[in-house]
Amino acid sequence: MNTARRTHGFRESVIRGMTRLAREHNSINLAQGFPNFPAPDLLKEAAIKAIGDDINQYAITWGALRLREALARKYQRWYAISADPEREITVTCGATEAMIATLLAVVNPGDEVIVFEPFYENYGPDTILADARPVYVPLQPGRALDLDRLAAAFSSRTRAIIVNTPSNPAGRVLGRAELEAIGDLCVRHDALAITDEIYEHIRFDGEHLPMATLPGMRERTVTISGGSKTFSVTGWRVGWIIAPPALTGAIRKVHDFLTVGAPAPLQEAIAAALDGLDEAFYRQLAETYRGRRDLLYSALVDAGFRCTAPEGAYYILADFSALASMDDTEFSVWLSREVGVTPVPGSSFFREGGAGRPLVRFVFCKTEAVLTEAAARLRSIGGARQTRPIEVALRSGLQR
């Protein structure tokens, strides 16, 4: 019997569950966001060298000095943010740990934390584990942030807002006016911005504006990012946090007791990549992702989904209500079993009873070959539907 108080309020990860389902159905996994292509050679060679050099023991709990120094150089070079490696940078086990460690460190029980909805599913459990009260504000694909609704969500109880740009799963890249509005509200209400910038280099429109560069925000922003998406190494678990010294002090304590530290040799390799990969690498990354986005987007539109081409990150949230009247979970299982493409049910990006029912999310962080095959399977839905209504296929599928 589960009597654990803290886990009562939340579900298991649907994203990770769909990966298991895709394996069972031998279906193309467009559910969980991890690349199926190789990481840069420079990064892999640096990891091999670090292990060869016996960098096998714990790094300093808040991160190997070499990585913290490489991060300081990166933030200076890219965004003109100066961050002190000794007092303002913490290396974590992925952005996932960075987010939960930050919330546990800075939020008091009962504080409100503003979360954009649809949200990356971890933020729900993260706020529950931190004893915070989430307050939701819509952020939809292809739509500007409703600044009046945002302003109405702030109050004297607001401790922080979680800002994920480019965003998962909405695909928005927040523009300067939107970010400045968020920043002004944070200043006015003495709230923190906790930003998840893990997709900072995967963008098709607009520049990446770190919240910490906006007026008055450096001292009230916790900037989170990591190597997973930029260097296609989601299994390495190397992320980081840039925050003012007092916040960093609190976050480092939580981080130390949660995980002690991120993998030492892989920290060396990420440092080598941050220092060694040039502009061309980042340009190529965004360009290749644009091709993958276009490939999946056009297939979804042809198949009869309603969706908007994302401005950044590698997800498409698609409305399937023109295709079937089943709910998002049934549709995801059907698509996985009958069509051989596995998405994530939309409801996992919304609060309980939220607006995710006619939605599913597909990833496009896959090779052109895999996406081309997925696109062909998705385009076949139309034909399959004319001969065999989806609901009938679903019932027979479920009986197997």
**Which residues make up the interface to ligand GLN (CB under 6 A)?**
15-16, 32-33, 96, 120, 168
The CB-of-129 to ligand GLN minimum distance in angstroms stands at 16
The CB-of-66 to ligand GLN minimum distance in angstroms stands at 26
Distance of CA 151 to the CA centre of its chain: 24
Query: Which residues 6+ apart lie within 8 Å of 290 measured at CB?
Result: 204
Residue nearest to ligand GLN (CB): 33
Per DSSP bridges, beta strands 306-307 and 192-196 are unpaired
255 by DSSP, 3-state: which?
Answer: helix
Hey, what are 27's tokens?
């279906």
Between 96 and 195, CB nearer to ligand GLN: 96
Between 158 and 329, CB nearer to ligand GLN: 329
156 by DSSP, 3-state: which?
Answer: coil
Residue 271 phi/psi, 5-degree rounding, is -60, -45
Between 66 and 203, CB nearer to ligand GLN: 203
The CB-of-121 to ligand GLN minimum distance in angstroms stands at 7
Between 32 and 342, CB nearer to ligand GLN: 32
160 close to 217: Cβ distance less than 8 angstroms: no
Task: Give the C-alpha distances (Å, rounded to integers) separating 383 from 4, 334, 374.
Answer: 48, 15, 15
Between 15 and 114, CB nearer to ligand GLN: 15
Between 226 and 265, CB nearer to ligand GLN: 226
Query: Which residues 6+ apart lie within 8 Å of 4 measured at CB?
Result: none
Between 173 and 214, CB nearer to ligand GLN: 173
The CB-of-96 to ligand GLN minimum distance in angstroms stands at 6
The CB-of-101 to ligand GLN minimum distance in angstroms stands at 15
**Residue by residue, what is the 3-state secondary structure of 75-116?**
HHHHHCCCCCCCCCEEEECHHHHHHHHHHHHHCCCCCEEEEE
> What DSSP letter does each residue of 186-206 carry, written as one string?
HHHTT-EEEEE-TTTT-BSSS
The CB-of-241 to ligand GLN minimum distance in angstroms stands at 17
The CB-of-218 to ligand GLN minimum distance in angstroms stands at 27
